[in-house]
Amino acid sequence: MRIPCPLCGMRDLREFSVRGAALPEPEGAAWSAAWDDYLHNRDNPAGESREFWYHGQGCGAWLVVTRDTVTHEIADVVLAGAEAGA
């Protein structure tokens, strides 16, 4: 698998590490079902997923990668922080 880093271009998987699903943080600091969901509950989608990836052996940027877990097709890669909710 290769990931097209917005800064570096197409790079090999071994330069990246995955953090997990890129979920929008719930509003407010008070504990709620939304926070419980955010911290503990994950879907295991066979299909499109949105994940944080870290280009640690490269430019050091956090990326939001939209990819298909079935076909390994990568639909979109953006710099984390460059889009709302990331």
Partner 1 sequence: MVDLVEMTPCAGLVPVTAGALRLTEAAPGWVTVLAPYKGQQGALGRALAQAHGLGWPEPGEVIAGKSGAVQWFGRDLALLVGPEPAAALAKHAALTDQSDAWAVLRIEGPGATAVMARLTPLDLRESVFGVGRTARTDVAHMAGAVTRAGTDAYDIMAFRSMAASLVHEVAMAMRRVAARTQ
Q: At closest approach, how far in Å is the CB of 17 from partner 1?
A: 12
Lookup: tokens for 16: 């990246």
Site residues (CB under 8 A) for partner 1? 7-12, 14-15, 56-61, 79
DSSP assigned state of 38: H
Q: How far is the CB of 47 from partner 1 (least distance, A)?
A: 28
Residue in 59, 55, 44 with CA at minimum distance from that of residue 3: 55
Nearer of residues 17 and 32 to partner 1, judged by Cβ: 17
> Who's near 29: CB < 8 A, 6+ residues apart?
none
Distance CA 78, CA 18 (A): 14
Q: Which of residues 34 and 61 has its CB atom nearest to partner 1 in the complex?
A: 61
Q: From the CB of 82, what's the least distance to partner 1, in Å?
A: 10
